[in-house]
Amino acid sequence: MLFAAGVAAAAGTVLGVKAEGNIYWPLTPEASDGTQTPSAILFDEVAPTLSPRVVTVSINIVANRAALIWPPGVTAEQISTFETQLASVANIAVRDA
């Protein structure tokens, strides 16, 4: 899986997939390019690079709710919706530890 160029993210960051290029980006709720829908969780920290790079993402897992990193400003209602989307899009069940 490719992760966006020029972007840093920590392990546990919830990701969306930008339709153009099929590249993972941090979840961006206000977008309309595919990154507004959660589709994976970043497995390890990534630093910004000049070009997209290969990363490991998590799907088909049970995720610890406390370990997930959501975009700043998202509401509890949005998080609940995003967790439902993670379950349907990526087979990720979000649970308390």
Note the pLDDT of residue 1.
Answer: 85
Q: Mean pLDDT over all residues of the chain?
A: 96
Confidence of residue 45 (pLDDT cuts 50, 70, 90): very high
Q: Which residues contact 82 (CB under 8 A, 6 or more apart)?
A: 14, 27, 38, 70, 74
Count of CB atoms within 10 A of residue 57's CB? 17
**Spatial contact of 65 and 94, defined as CB atoms under 8 Å apart:** yes
Q: Where are the domains of the chain?
A: 2-95
Q: What percent of the chain has pLDDT over 90?
A: 96
- pTM of the entire structure? 0.95
Query: Which homologous superfamily does the CATH classification assign to the domain defined by 2-95?
Result: Head decoration protein D (2.40.300.10)
Task: Give tens-digit pLDDT for 56-87.
Answer: 998 899 999 999 999 999 999 999 999 999 99
